[in-house]
Amino acid sequence: MGCCESKGADSKANRVSRWRSTGIVALRDAKLKTFPDEVLDLDRSVRTLDLTHNKLVEIPMEISKLVNMQRLILATNLIERLPINLGKLQSLKVMILDGNQITSLPDELGQLVRLEKLSISGNMLVSLPETIGSLRNLSLLNVSNNKLKYLPESVGSCFSLEELQANDNLIEELPASVCNLVHLKSLCLNNNKISQIPPNILKDCKALQNISLHDNPISMDQFQQMEGFQEFEARRKKKFDKQIDSNVMISSKGLDEGVDL
C-alpha cells in the first residue's frame, strides 16, 4: 500500500513539475468536478489551461492568481457563470467557453484588453455586456447558438474584429455601429430573425468577403440593392478565385451568396 501511495505521489509531483516547466496544463476528459488545487497553486507558471470536457460547474475566484495565462479553454463543461474578478487575467489572449450553461457575462470581461479570440457558443446568453466594446484587440467573436436578441452597440468599438459568428440566435437587427468594423472579413448570422441590416454595411466594411444570412426574413433582392453590393461581390469572388488558384478544398459555405434565394 505504501509503495502504491508513494508512486501516486511521485506521479503527481512529476505532473506538476511538467506543468510548471512547460506552462501547459492539459486535463481534457479527466472527469473533474472542481478545479484542481495544484493547478491554482502554479500561479504565474501557467500559460495555457485546457480543461475541456469535464464536469466543472464553477470557476473559482482563485483563478485570478494565474496572471500570466494566455489561453483558457473550458469548453464542454457545466459552467453557469464566470467570476467577477476575471478581469485580473490581463495576459489572456484566447478564451474558449463553448458548450456550457452560461447565462450572462460579467462587465469585467471588458478588462481583458489583450483578448484576441472569444468563443462562447452553445450557452444560454440572452445579452452581451456593453463593456465588450473595450476589447480592441479582439479579432474573433463567436456567440453562436445562444439566446441573444440583439448585439450591443458597443460591438462596433471592437475595431480589430475580423470574424463575427452569431448563428442560431434570436437577433432581429444589427446595431449601426457594425459599420465601424473596417477589418471585418466574415459575418455569419444564419438562423436568426433579421429582416434588414445596416444600409451602409457593404460600403463601409471594406474588408468584408463573406456574409451569411440564411434562414432569416431578409431577401436576396434587399441584399443586392444595398449600396456597395458590387464591390462586396468583387471581394467575395476574388477570395474564391484565390482559393481555387491555391487548390484549396472548400466547403459549400465558402461559396456563400449571402442570403437565401
Residue pair 124/101 in contact (Cβ under 8 Å)? The answer is yes
Give the mean pLDDT per block of 10 residues along the chain (261 residues): 51 92 97 95 96 97 97 98 95 98 97 98 98 98 98 98 98 97 98 95 96 94 91 86 59 45 31
Q: Residue 19 carries which side chain, given as an amino acid letter? A: W
On whether the CB atoms of residues 155 and 133 are closer than 8 A, the answer is: yes
Instruction: Using alpha carbons, select from 40, 102, 110, 97 the residue that is nearest to residue 69.
Output: 40
Residue 62 carries which side chain, given as an amino acid letter? E
Domains 16-102 and 105-118+125-245 share a fold: yes
Q: How many CB atoms sit inside 10 A of residue 163's CB? A: 17
DSSP state of 238: H
* Separation CA 117–CA 96 (nearest Å): 8
Show the cell assigned to 4: 502504491
E-assigned strands of 43-189?
48-50, 71-73, 94-96, 117-119, 140-142, 163-165, 186-188
User: Is 3.40.50.2020 the CATH number for 105-118+125-245?
Assistant: no
| Per-residue pLDDT, 237 | 86
Encoded amino acid at 182, one letter: V
Is 197 in contact with 174 (CB distance < 8 Å)? Answer: yes
pLDDT at 252: 41
Per-residue pLDDT at 137: 98
Where do runs of H (alpha helix) occur along the chain? 2-22, 37-40, 201-204, 220-224, 229-245
DSSP E strand boundaries for the chain: 24-26, 48-50, 71-73, 94-96, 117-119, 140-142, 163-165, 186-188, 210-212
CATH topology of domain 16-102: 3.80.10
The CA distance from 126 to 62, in Å, is 27
pLDDT at 251: 41
> Is pTM beyond 0.85 here?
yes
Query: Domain map of the chain by residue range?
Result: 16-102, 105-118+125-245
**Can you give the pLDDT at residue 11?**
84
